[in-house]
Structure 1
């Protein structure tokens, strides 16, 4: 463990539940740049070999038990990077263990009821929770929020457009992954597989931008999906309305040589476009452009991205400073995503399925997008 100079603030001890590619290729590199604030002290994974190997990279303790990690007095804050079905129970356990703050990867729950339970425990214990939708912590987005004036009141169209290579390409650029699970082949002719792909696309990839979309859709509870389809090898095209706002969600994960991640909000007299860095890429922030008649305001890039931004926010909260997102914000963000996923999946059978190749070819889709 690193020692602190006299009079300097104490470094916050981090425990991480789940040592998969997200931990290895996103969180550990981000935390390495924030050593003056945070230090990894315990890694837990159900695979003892993976836990030991990943913990060894940062000189941390390791275990295969959540209880062992939560009982470790060196752990001040907890990051939950396990499969999503465990998130709610682990967030609640971390709060009840008296930790100073919790970061949970998205989705932090799989129903509005689970989200409400988490919120109640957070309020009861006083432990703040943030959700790892990294774009909401990106300095480019935060600067745009401060500069866009009345844009949210006039927006009529919102677009999220994502073109990325499969996750392993950028994971391998970031680090040497240990314990990566093989992706099983999928039967592209099975409607249940297609529905699962569509739900996974919304809850694993689109969900990064859905809190941003919701910022421009005050009638977010009134969701109507007009069209939904999956594209090969992994992706989606979803058109919907929320109140009077038209929304386009598009993504393709393929062999692209030029990744792109764009978010747009278009109003009558102004428009916002943000270019985000791709998942797993450790670079500067997004660049935002606010356009009005005769004027373009460019914001960014700034010196860090949303991955680092979420850890900076967690350190701030653990030190008793700043304000966490409100319970209504995180619950409504989740409910918005779940409503879109459910309605999009329900369209299968009524909308066209775009395969892009031979329908009989099994799907090998890098389906688990958890960046």
Structure 2
């Protein structure tokens, strides 16, 4: 590490930090170095920091007071995101990266936007696929697909995160998962909302690229999948949108985004988050012709970090914070409406029985 590289402070040293951000930053030593790691568990903070030669702490304020930390990444549990992003902005850092979701509701998002504008500290949300070279190449070449696509499909089929995390991390104590009664309407509604805000939110910004005006949204169907997952069919304006995610015990992962028109279609295959295997591959079909973009040498995580470093140095324009608010608003709308659909449908079935 040298003075020519930007110092990174990490709030939360769990599986995402260990299995994704640390390996990514290791490939970017010419640009960034990890200066300080915070976790509420002192053993985890000390052990993870020791791997990368960083200082460690259990106190958020101590990390934010470290002048060597120029970029803060928030990898803590969701409920702490908003307060920690705001604190990082008020600490005068050069930029903040927050894992998804960066807020739990509209009021938190608006407060973050207000503080970001007041302090001049740019914020990036870790929707890694929006920085993936495969996605960006498709976006540069899809022409009028946004206007003519009538069907949007977004599907994730993955083994449980724990399978990846147990390979890539050493010191996380995994709590025993509690069995939940998915026949209870409130439990099922909560599982639906959790699935949308925890997994689907990764690529809902991509969906929103094709549905920028989502004021006319209707949930056609929604169900909680077994053993764990969700399936939601939406009508947004004139477009049909399907959002699906399921965790299975098979080792056949897929992460696919599709936009389909009558004569033009796009399919993008992303690697699973914990697999550092380069970029997505995008296939754009026009009639009988196909154009293939990717795979490129790096993935969206590396793309977001390189962009973040450029923003911190002032060599790239920061994202408009209103885009982040709109992305979150869209995700919350989908989550709230789908969970309400599940609650009402299951209540009606129970009443009929």
TM-score normalized by structure 2?
0.95
Deviations 1:11-54 (A, max 9, x none): 11000001111111111111111111111111111111111111
| Rounded Cα–Cα distance in structure 2 between residues aligned with 1:348 and 1:241 | 16
- The separation in 1 between residues aligned to 2:108 and 2:321, in whole angstroms, is 12
Change (3 A) 1:181 1:75: farther
Corresponding residue number in structure 1 for 2:153: 159
Instruction: For residue 89 of structure 1, give the secondary structure of its aligned residue in structure 2.
Output: helix
Secondary structure in 1 aligned to 2:92? coil
SS of 1:94's partner is helix
User: Equivalent residues in 2 for 1:124-163 (5 A)?
Assistant: 124-163=118-157
Alignment partners' CA distance in 2, 1:43 and 1:218: 37
Q: State yes or no: 1:335 paired with 2:329.
A: yes
Contact 1:24 1:177 in 2 (8 A): no
Residue correspondence of structure 1 range 83-232 to structure 2 within 5 A: 83-232=77-226
Aligned to 1:363: none
Distance in 1 (alpha carbons) for counterparts of 2:274 and 2:227: 19
Q: Tell me, yes or no, if structure 1 residue 37 matches structure 2 residue 31.
A: yes
Aligned CA RMSD, in angstroms, stands at: 1.4
2:54 aligned partner: 60
Q: Given the alignment, which residue of 255, 262, 282 partners 1:268? A: 262
1:302 to 290, 293, 296: 296
Contact 1:20–1:179 (8 Å) recurs in 2? no
CA contact (8 A) 1:20 1:180 kept: no
Structure 2's unaligned 5+ residue stretches are 348-353
Partner of 1:261: helix, strand, or coil? Answer: strand
Kept in 2: contact 1:170–1:279 (CA 8 A):
no
Contact 2:159 2:248 in 1 (8 A): yes
Q: Is the 8 A contact 2:219 2:337 kept in 1?
A: yes
Q: Distance in 1 between matches of 2:167 and 2:300?
A: 18
Match for residue 350 of structure 2? none
Deviations 1:127-173 (Å, cap 9, x if unpaired)?
Answer: 11000011101110011110101110111110001110000212233
Displacement after TM superposition at 1:350 (Å): 4.1
1:77 aligned partner: 71
For residues 320-344 of structure 1, give each alpha carbon's deviation from its aligned partner in whole angstroms, at most 9, with x where no partner exists: 1112221221110000000000000
1:253 to 237, 244, 247: 247
In structure 2, distance between residues paired with 1:71 and 1:289: 47
How many residue pairs get matched? 347
SS for the counterpart of 2:210 is coil
Measured in 1, the distance between the counterparts of 2:265 and 2:170 equals 40
User: Counterparts of 1:286 and 1:276 in 2: how far apart (Å)?
Assistant: 4
1:124 Cα deviation from its structure 2 partner: 1.0
- Are 1:107 and 1:203, in contact at CA under 8 Å, matched by a contact in 2? yes
Partner of residue 21 from structure 1, selected from 9, 12, 15: 15
